A and B are shown apart, each in its own frame.
Chain A
């Protein structure tokens, strides 16, 4: 005689409920995160009048590239191009007088962010390697000192930074931004890279040295390829921090020669009228470079490269 034992299967209903709950929550979160971006993109293709229409048009009835044309046709530095759009002064379709500064400002932002990324890696990588893999007196002190600078909030640094920058005669220059952004981003980079290098086995370092690498060759030939995800993360962070930074840029820059994108875009609202359609087109342009970077480097931001390095 056999005894059949029914193993109690998990009740189905709670699983379904849980799945639905998670799905709904995810959708809500996605909507919360993506709706503003979608509206930004959609409204950049609308006229000022359509933007303020009720109910809002998520898909423009009459998509137009007018806003982008305005940006790309505006003449840099020429302040007096504040012209009503052809569809009338009441439409809110003004092109701000500083529209021509947008593209130069973007270039400024790009220069600053790229140099900050580059210097972050040039400074951060050797520092992190030394802290992670070389035993020297004061190693912990070095790491904590680097980190301690991040304990102070940026706002508290604005005035000291301003005084230093002014003393050095760097006001209204891209250099002032590069220097101060480095002060903000390098500690984080060193910290992230140091913990990445620390996770790579010491034996790899030693094996490479016995194989004929000097310290710097170990770093270049073994550690950098293995730390690529962290390098990308650090680079992206430094880029975004510089690209988005507002407060310091507001303090240190005064003319279009050094103003960055956030400053110029913010200035669009200080005209007599706010042109939402134009502002949103500028917003789309501001979002594009970071978005492209994220897409390009997304595939590198995966770990697991160290699998198989040591006994498994």
Chain B
């Protein structure tokens, strides 16, 4: 159990390229924080710095109130699950799980008990005598989890632990990891590039890009109030639609204009010098036309039923817009339809800076 604080932490490699720039993060004890971002965004580097596997170039790392910058990995009370699992191929499953305990000179009886407990929880007791090469991907993954669990560490680190599993197993394991967090009652720091994983698991998400934090907040915050276009585009499936246009303040309410399209925006747009703005519209934020609400008209280019839902590719004034409609909606390709928009659910960005213009986003 530990509170982890990163204070203006930076990591630069020999060639001067920065992997992480000025990262400040305060992770409460027992919190589940997910570092999210595309590959190369510095999330794994951050995790490795917390683990002690990478040196910190600048800044301070604290566990509770203790500076950890120069404490080697084996003296930090952390456990880590790797994307590749990194099981010791020459050791049995039992010895793999027990290894961390052996290194810490845990008495044999206690060690055996803890390994068996973990194995039972993960349902791998029958595999304890096998070698890693005799296991399936999912089983290896459990062994890797078990190896970290038995340590009962102060900080539990996971580096894309589910990316090598197939889709259905991945979803099942998400639930298991949530349970694990609840039971272990320790601080979790989890790295992934999978937004669904992040949204499901995290108490808070740190969304990173090119070594810089883009937004830090609860999954709900980050999804509903993205600070910039990158955050808006990274979260959500299908991806958010962006429409370029102009901000018009001629009437009393601010308005998004693009050719014939005119959409009344929610009040409270930040004062901005620019008139070039980008409207962000999530696929699910359309509905039936309602009085007083802005309307989006477009020609149906493609209709894609997915079973539980139906997605439409619309042509709106030369732009492609992807929306979700009910599965019962009987729309044919080539038709022109009108959809209602909820101004409260629209996102507005400054085109030049990419930052959100809605209040309370930054």
A: which residues have CB within 8 A of B?
137, 201, 203-204, 206-214, 217, 222, 225-226, 305-312
Contact = CB atoms under 8 A, between A and B. Distances in A.
A203 B157 CA distance: 14
Nearest to A307: B133
A244 B157 CA distance: 53
Given A211-B147, A308-B135, A204 B88 contact: yes
A308 B87 contact: yes
Interface string B180-202: 00000000000000000000000
A89 to B, nearest CB: 62
B226 interface: no
Contact of B88 (A212, A214, A309, A312): A309
B84 A209 contact: no
B104 interface: yes
A309 B53 contact: no
A212 B103 contact: yes
The 9 closest A-B pairs by CB, nearest first: A308-B133, A212-B103, A203-B86, A207-B86, A211-B100, A310-B84, A309-B89, A308-B132, A209-B73
Nearest to A135: B14
Interface stretch (B75-83, B252-260, B321-329, B348-356): B75-83
B338 interface: no
A311 B84 contact: yes
A201 B100 contact: no
B86 A204 contact: yes
Contact of B90 (A209, A212, A226): A226
Contact of A306 (B48, B82, B83, B89): B89
Contacts of B134: 308
A226 B89 contact: yes
Given A226-B90, A309-B132, A210 B51 contact: yes
A311 B140 contact: yes
A210 B79 CA distance: 6
A312 B137 contact: yes
B164 interface: yes
Contacts of A308: 87, 89, 131-135, 140
Interface in B50-87: 51-53, 72-74, 78-80, 82-87
A310 B72 CA distance: 24
Given A207-B87, A309-B132, 8 more contacts: A203-B84, A208-B88, A211-B74, A212-B100, A214-B72, A222-B88, A226-B90, A309-B89
Contacts of B88: 204, 207-208, 222, 309
B99 interface: yes
B237 to A, nearest CB: 25
B103 A201 contact: no
Contacts of B73: 206, 209-210
A217 B88 CA distance: 14
A212 B104 contact: yes
B137 A311 contact: yes
A222 B147 CA distance: 15
A309 B80 CA distance: 16
Contacts of A226: 89-90
Contacts of A222: 88
B53 A210 contact: yes
A201 B87 CA distance: 10
B78 A210 contact: yes
Contacts of A208: 88, 99
A201 B132 CA distance: 14
Nearest to B130: A308
Interface in B107-153: 131-135, 137, 140, 147, 151
A99 B164 CA distance: 67
Contacts of B103: 211-213, 217
11 contacts: A137-B14, A206-B53, A209-B52, A211-B99, A211-B103, A211-B147, A212-B103, A305-B90, A308-B89, A310-B85, A311-B140
B320 to A, nearest CB: 37
A207 B133 contact: no
Contacts of B74: 209-214, 217
Nearest to B163: A311
Specify which of B74, B86, B88, B137 lies most central, judged by the most chain A CB atoms within 10 Å of its CB.
B86
Contact of A312 (B52, B53, B80, B133): B133
Contacts of A212: 74, 100, 103-104
Contacts of B100: 210-212
Contacts of A311: 83-85, 137, 140, 164
Contacts of A203: 82-86
A225 B90 contact: yes
Nearest to A207: B86
A301 B81 CA distance: 32
Given A137-B14, A308-B132, A312-B133, A210 B89 contact: no
Contact of B53 (A137, A209, A213, A305): A209
Nearest to B164: A311
Nearest to B82: A203
